[in-house]
């Protein structure tokens, strides 16, 4: 078996590829955020929250699997992993923000604030993810506390296992890049 040489990029080409990758990651994050604010979440009020959350988590798993595969197949796996994380991490956070928003819409007494807007829900989700928990918004009902505990547990899984999977995908992708054919698009 012959090995294809790993392409050596000039400093300018590395900077260009990094800038393009970061712009893609930013665009993905902005699009997901806009989707969260524009999505007609009020139409989900008739769907049981556990079902909506299960479907959302399944969709997240599918997106993550597709992204891991893309990292492995990429010519530049570390750069592709940045884009992949830009798709999966915000999707995870926005999924829980939408869930908190729906729980608050169902019954405002589920949280310690009068109303929970989409921005409040996203803020609350990020404070839980970052383990900051300022205390200005907190779950007030058992159902809301269970949802928050589920997010906390999944946060640990995403941070531990999820990042490990992407790092492993980078390693596999780098091995493939140094040992064989590239993807048609060269990424």
- pLDDT 10s digits, 126-152: 999 988 878 899 999 999 999 999 999
In the chain, % of residues over pLDDT 90: 43
Tell me the pLDDT tens digit for each residue of 96-113. 999 999 999 999 999 999
pLDDT of residue 1: 44
pLDDT of residue 31: 94
pLDDT higher than threshold 70 for residue 184? no
The domain segmentation of the chain, as residue ranges, is: 11-179
- For 27, the 3-state DSSP assignment is helix
User: Could you please report the per-residue DSSP string of the chain?
Assistant: ---PPPPPPPHHHHHHHHHHHHHHHHHHHHHHHHHHHHS-GGGGGGS-HHHHHHHHHHHHHHHHHHHHHHHHH-SSHHHHHHHHHHHHHHHHHHHHHHHHHHHHHH-GGGBSSS---HHHHHHHHHHHHTT---SSS-B-SHHHHHHHHHHHHHHHHIIIIIHHHHHHHHHHHHHHHHHSPPPTT--
Which of these ranges, 46-60, 73-87, 171-185, has the smallest mean pLDDT?
A: 171-185
pLDDT of residue 143: 92
pLDDT higher than threshold 90 for residue 157? no
pLDDT higher than threshold 70 for residue 27? yes
pLDDT higher than threshold 90 for residue 177? no
- pTM, full prediction: 0.80
pLDDT higher than threshold 80 for residue 91? yes
CA distance 135 to 43: 30
């Amino acid at each position: 078996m012959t090995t294809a040489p790993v392409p050596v990029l000039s400093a300018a080409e590395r900077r260009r590829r990094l800038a393009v990758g970061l712009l893609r990651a930013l665009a993905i994050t902005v699009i997901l955020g806009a989707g969260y604010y524009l999505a007609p979440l009020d139409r989900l009020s008739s769907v049981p929250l556990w079902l909506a959350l299960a479907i959302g988590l399944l969709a997240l798993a599918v997106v993550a699997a597709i992204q891991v595969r893309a990292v492995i197949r990429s010519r530049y796996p570390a750069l592709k992993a940045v884009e992949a994380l830009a798709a999966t991490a915000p999707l995870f956070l926005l999924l829980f923000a939408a869930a908190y928003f729906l729980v608050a819409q169902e019954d405002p007494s589920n949280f310690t604030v009068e109303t929970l807007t989409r921005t409040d829900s996203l803020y609350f989700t990020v404070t839980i993810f970052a383990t900051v928990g300022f205390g200005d918004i907190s779950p007030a009902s058992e159902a809301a506390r269970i949802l928050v505990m589920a997010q906390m547990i999944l946060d640990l899984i995403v941070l531990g296992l999820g990042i490990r999977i992407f790092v492993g995908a980078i390693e596999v992708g780098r091995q493939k890049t140094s040992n064989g054919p590239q993807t048609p698009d060269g990424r």
